[in-house]
Structure 1
Amino acid sequence: MGGSRGSGGVADTASLGADERVRPTLTESLARDASIPFGGPIGEHAVVGRHWFWTPLRVGLLLAVVALALSWFGKAACIQQNAGPDGSLGLDWSGSRQFTAMCYSDIVPLYGAERLDRGGFPYATMWYDDEGKPTQHERYMEYPVLTGMFMWANAQMAQGWVELAKQGWLPTGLDVVVYFDITALWLALAWLVTIWAVALCAKRRKWDAAFIALSPLVIVHAFTNFDTLATAFAAVGLLAWARKRPVLAGVLLGLGGAAKLYPLFFLGPLLVLCIRSGKTRDWWRTAGAAAATWAAVNAPFYLHPDTARGWGEFFRLNSTRGADPDSLYNVFMQWLNWPGFDGPLGFKEPPTVLNTVTAVLFLAACAAIAFVAWHAPTKPRVAQLCFLVVAAFLLTNKVWSPQYSLWLVPLAILAIPRWKPLLAWMAIDAALWAPRMFFYLGTDNKGLPQDWFLGFVVARDLAVIALCVMVIIEIYRPHRDLVRAHGDDDPIGGVLDGAPDRFTLRRKEQPKEEPAQLVTA
């Protein structure tokens, strides 16, 4: 019955059977308090797991649908229509609605900005930004191939829908509104796949997936951009690795890398852990499959003369952009009145020093994570290192777009399933959206001064750093790890789960010599 239930659940979960799942109302004070309106915590002798329908996974998926519905309604103000002076319909973004209603989504303006509304094929369609000005320059689709094709396919479906609607077969609206709704549908399905994969990865902690299904970050950012595609590939890739299918894991991570770069970062933690466990053959199979898949998706665009230049737009854009408002570099530049590493730059001149600094810092952070993995007394779990690497990338990168925080949500619950700290971080990160929108509105339009926004950026980064510290503490003190509290090693370790060490940086303890015995006749 115990007083340790609200302290993390070690005492409550230590006696679990091999297949028994963790009961959060007994191990998490947050879940216990939330259960009071529904009858309170589950009884210690209750029979669980026998309901014919409501499993933790299905509850998690239902909660995810609720969160996704709230997210859609949060963006709905930005797809309202009004009639112009000539009677034609257009989006109602009057009065900077996208900021005052905090409904901004990249999906809506990119429909026109990426020329999807004109039916052009991505990477083959070129246009000029700032046409007729000294800053005129060529532009192409700026997203990785899989995301770019996803956007184009949705635009084609939206335009087909509108054409059918003209014949009276379907209800309709502006093509950009239909495009947003079709895109939101697929992104919602991708997030449901993410929750499904996390629940299966968590094994006996399936309720953790239900917890993140209602994440404030999902409610705010599920439809801010296209990142749930990548979270789905990343989560299912980890699930394939957990099921000891390294080639399939590589294929899924390669597809994720063709949508957003970060799923390919998982190859680093897997390599480090495979070296420690002597399982490098499995890593080579995963890495080879990931590289082959990424190359197979990208090669047709890179090799075709009509799309080769457009294919490189993603890399050119990321090399020439400066420190985004969301980065710590911008915080220092604004608060210290610092011109930055490169000083004033000309138009389209790349910030060479900043690019080098971000790359060096990220590689140094990865080297430090590798040291921790090889020096820790017990082999870290896959999710712990993946979370640290992705967090290090976001903290050291010159860009932290708001939706990037979704990358951390599945990894965080698998790495450190402590609900209160995770909810605190997600709430701070989601709350950053409000000062961001009102900072973009501008003080001339009654928006917030920049310092409010920068203050929230620092708070968000400190919250992520605090989670990283907690993960490192649990790596060095595995008895504090809630996943290992009841005898498990690494639920998503796959071939690494329970594997003995083959290489570490720790000095082996020498056995103590027994004192010599005096032999007498």
Structure 2
Amino acid sequence: MRLPARTTTVVVLASLVTLVLGYVNKARCAGPPFSNLGRSLKFEALKNVDVCYSDIQYLWIGRDIDNHVFPFLHGGITASGSLFGGTVEYPVLSGLLMWLGGIGSHTDAAFLLHSAIIMAPFGLLTAWLLGRIAGWRALWWSLSPALVLFAFHNWDLPAVATTVAAAFVMLRGPGTLRTRGMIAAALLAVGACLKLYPGLFVLPVALAVLWGPVARHAGPEPGEHDAGTPDRAWRSGALDVRGALATVGVAAAIAVAINLPFAVLGFRGWLASFAFQSKRTADITTNSLWYWGLRPLIGDDGTYNVVVSVASPVLVVASFALALWIGVRIAHRTGTYPWLQVSAAMLCGFLLLHKVHSPQYVLWLLPFFVLLRVPWPLVAGYLTANTALGIGLFRYYAALGTDPDAARRWEYAVWFGVWGQVAILAVLFAVFLRSAPARGATSRSFRFPARRTQFPETPDNRTTVS
């Protein structure tokens, strides 16, 4: 169904206003006077108290951005875990964006402004695509408090845009499902070179391509009783194994092509970005269930870090496998692999169980609130918990060591934010897998799960989705 152009226009304009507010919020920490390194002197004084901290402004110093060093080629990591020589802790395309934002910048305020100018179009593109797909539901993105708090907290908007663009191609793109799957996989590979998480969704997309022929033959024959299991599909359509392998192959080729020049020309610096993340511990800055749940139980010694370093990746991978397996079960029943639902569930598993859960990761989840029919209390509850964490965390940092009573009060807000997100993510893992696409977010190959009927279906009464 074609959505009115005015709906998309309103969604984009609302996003523009929210992005401007997001920049203004972060810019409160930036501006003269500056140190001899171009650091705003008020940054340290205001970043936590006024909740205007951003990684963008913080990393102006310490990653050679202020020296305009091209990323990764001359860098590395020290034995203590500090990066140097232009290496940053993000994939290569984010490193390029950081370098571009630093060109012509001589202060952290200019770097913040230039970075916002670079990233804002990606936020607007996300709004436009979501508006085209889901209409007014896209306001969950455009009017979200998370966009004010975190749009320019880190370099997340470009990765979010590539993920939504991949969904748009799958749902509304031209050509066959195999063609759309390969294009979407290419976009997700680009996203993985910005932030790793879009790469998670390549497998669900490939499985959707694999089941494509089954979906085309999954409907019951005229006069055939439909009990919810499309056995005829298995007799009528073979799985598209070549298409699925090609989808994964395209993603791998794009990722290799983007990373290879950096790996060849500066292997030590390129590898250091991965080493930095692997060495990161689940400390007070990670906002994870591990720090706030496991650490109080077993203490903050070496055992805690060893347990987390093993348990977190194992459980994350297990959650991925569970989501993918449930998707296969659904595909057996419906004839269509629910790639969008499985992708959302996999992201929930990652956010729930990974050792690091930065509050700006809410931007990764927001598009799925738009694309899938999730009960609004869950969405509102998650955004409330995230806002409490995003504000309470920095006020908590500000009070630590200076005002124990205030620190205790703000710690309650952090607890509410962390455990509120944990609880809702656990529920969302199941809810996403059972949810239907939002109106307008149904691809041509998607069929809703068949229901038991008391009478044979005919071509005249059979429900189809265009």
Q: 88, 93, 101: which one pairs with 2:50?
A: 101
Q: 1:443 to 1:119 in 2, by over 3 A?
A: closer
CA distance in 2, matches of 1:433, 1:74: 13
Q: 1:268 to 1:94 in 2, by over 3 A?
A: closer
Q: Is the 8 A contact 1:74 1:220 kept in 2?
A: yes
CA drift at 1:453: 1.8
Indicate the larger mover: 455-464 or 221-230.
455-464
CA distance in 2, matches of 1:177, 1:369: 43
Tell me what 1:142 maps to.
89
1:82 aligns with 2:33: yes
Letter in 1 for 2:20: A
Tell me what 1:45 maps to.
none
Q: Is the 8 A contact 2:38 2:107 kept in 1?
A: no
Percent identity over the alignment is 25
Q: 118, 122, 126: which one pairs with 1:194?
A: 126
CA distance in 1, matches of 2:307, 2:287: 19
Q: 423, 432, 450: which one pairs with 1:462?
A: 423
CA distance in 1, matches of 2:124, 2:370: 16
**Partner SS, residue 29 of structure 2:** helix
Tell me what 1:283 maps to.
244
**Partner SS, residue 336 of structure 1:** helix
Q: 420, 426, 440: which one pairs with 2:383?
A: 426
CA distance in 1, matches of 2:311, 2:89: 23
Q: 351, 358, 366: which one pairs with 2:312?
A: 358
Indicate the larger mover: 422-431 or 393-402.
422-431
Gaps of 5+ in 2: 215-238, 451-466
Q: 313, 317, 321: which one pairs with 2:280?
A: 321
TM-score, with normalisation over the residues of structure 1?
0.72
CA distance in 2, matches of 1:184, 1:114: 18
CA distance in 2, matches of 1:407, 1:247: 22
Q: Is the 8 A contact 1:128 1:137 kept in 2?
A: yes
Give 1 or 2 for the bigger CA radius of gyration.
1
CA distance in 1, matches of 2:315, 2:363: 22
**Partner SS, residue 70 of structure 2:** coil
Q: 1:267 to 1:213 in 2, by over 3 A?
A: same
**Partner SS, residue 223 of structure 1:** coil
CA distance in 2, matches of 1:330, 1:459: 15
**Partner SS, residue 117 of structure 1:** coil
CA drift at 1:461: 1.6
CA distance in 1, matches of 2:437, 2:311: 36
Tell me what 2:144 maps to.
215
CA distance in 1, matches of 2:430, 2:379: 13
Q: 374, 378, 401: which one pairs with 2:328?
A: 374
Matched residue pairs, number?
A: 410
CA drift at 1:128: 7.8
Q: Which digits, 9 at most, give the CA deviation of each residue in 1:207-266, with x for residues without a partner?
A: 111332111111110000000010011111222223142332222111101111111101
Tell me what 2:231 maps to.
none
Tell me what 1:16 maps to.
none
CA drift at 1:448: 2.0
Q: Which digits, 9 at most, give the CA deviation of each residue in 1:119-161, with x for residues without a partner?
A: 22211344787xxxx95856332221000011111211x34xx
Tell me what 1:301 maps to.
262
Q: Which digits, 9 at most, give the CA deviation of each residue in 1:170-195, with x for residues without a partner?
A: xxxx5321111111012111111111
Q: Is the 8 A contact 2:7 2:135 kept in 1?
A: yes
Gaps of 5+ in 1: 1-18, 22-48, 160-173, 345-350, 475-480, 502-521
Q: 1:499 to 1:425 in 2, by over 3 A?
A: closer
Q: Which digits, 9 at most, give the CA deviation of each residue in 1:419-455, with x for residues without a partner?
A: 4431331222122111110122243223523454233
Tell me what 2:219 maps to.
none
1:116 aligns with 2:65: yes
1:338 aligns with 2:299: yes
CA distance in 2, matches of 1:279, 1:208: 33
CA distance in 2, matches of 1:90, 1:339: 33
Q: 1:136 to 1:252 in 2, by over 3 A?
A: closer
CA distance in 1, matches of 2:73, 2:400: 40
Q: CA RMSD in A?
A: 3.0
1:438 aligns with 2:395: yes
Q: Is the 8 A contact 1:387 1:412 kept in 2?
A: no
Q: Which digits, 9 at most, give the CA deviation of each residue in 1:460-500, with x for residues without a partner?
A: 221222333322444xxxxxx4747xxx8x624x6x43499
TM-score, with normalisation over the residues of structure 2?
0.80
**Partner SS, residue 72 of structure 2:** coil
**Partner SS, residue 432 of structure 1:** helix
Q: Is the 8 A contact 1:96 1:441 kept in 2?
A: no
CA distance in 1, matches of 2:107, 2:437: 49
Q: Is the 8 A contact 1:81 1:89 kept in 2?
A: no
1:151 aligns with 2:98: yes
Letter in 2 for 1:153: L
Q: Is the 8 A contact 2:382 2:420 kept in 1?
A: no
Q: Which digits, 9 at most, give the CA deviation of each residue in 1:297-328, with x for residues without a partner?
A: 10001112xx1100011210111111143111
Q: 1:456 to 1:83 in 2, by over 3 A?
A: closer
Q: 1:95 to 1:224 in 2, by over 3 A?
A: closer
CA drift at 1:333: 3.4
Q: 17, 23, 32: which one pairs with 1:72?
A: 23
CA distance in 2, matches of 1:248, 1:128: 35
